[in-house]
Amino acid sequence: MLTTDGARLAPVTDGDARCPDLFDLLDDVPTSAVFACDGVCAEYEGALSLFEDRIELGCGTPRSIAFTDVEAWWATVVGAAVTVTVLARGAHTTTLPSAYRAALLVALAAQLGPERVRA
């Protein structure tokens, strides 16, 4: 994960066992991203990046959505996975490990406003 100033998070040590640096788990971190995470959960592989003006969902060739096009967004946890859904000219989703849920909610709320579902 990126901090808001783009700094790399330091690895945490726990006795003799080194916890992985989160950046070791990321494939290609967009350098201009405000927040980025990706991961594999069961059979799902997902990625989410937030920029100053848009959100990108998915791996490989991500779907780029301008913040001005976002009608609603929400995150749903089922088991070990969290699915982020963004409504913008259709529904767009990505699924990530549920351990990212808290960080995702904070980052998404900071960029898109509070979690909301279209009525």
| Model pLDDT for residues 11-57, shown as the tens digit of each residue | 444 443 443 444 444 455 556 778 888 887 767 788 999 999 999 99
Specify the pLDDT at position 30. 55
**Is there a contact between 38 and 84 (Cβ–Cβ < 8 Å)?**
no
**In terms of pLDDT, which residue wins out, 2 or 57?**
57
DSSP reduced 3-state for 76: strand
Tokens 């490989």 belong to: 60
**Is there a contact between 11 and 18 (Cβ–Cβ < 8 Å)?**
yes
**In terms of pLDDT, which residue wins out, 45 or 117?**
45
Specify the pLDDT at position 56. 93
Specify the pLDDT at position 28. 53
Specify the pLDDT at position 8. 44
Model confidence at 78, pLDDT cuts 50, 70, 90, reads confident
Specify the pLDDT at position 93. 93
> For the domain bounded by 13-112, which CATH number is listed?
2.30.29.30
79-113 pLDDT, tens digit each: 888 999 999 999 999 999 888 888 999 999 999 98
DSSP 19-30: PPPHHHH-S---
Residue 9 pLDDT exceeds 80: no
pTM reported for the whole predicted model: 0.70
Question: Measuring CA to CA, which residue among 37, 40, 117 is closest to residue 81?
Answer: 40
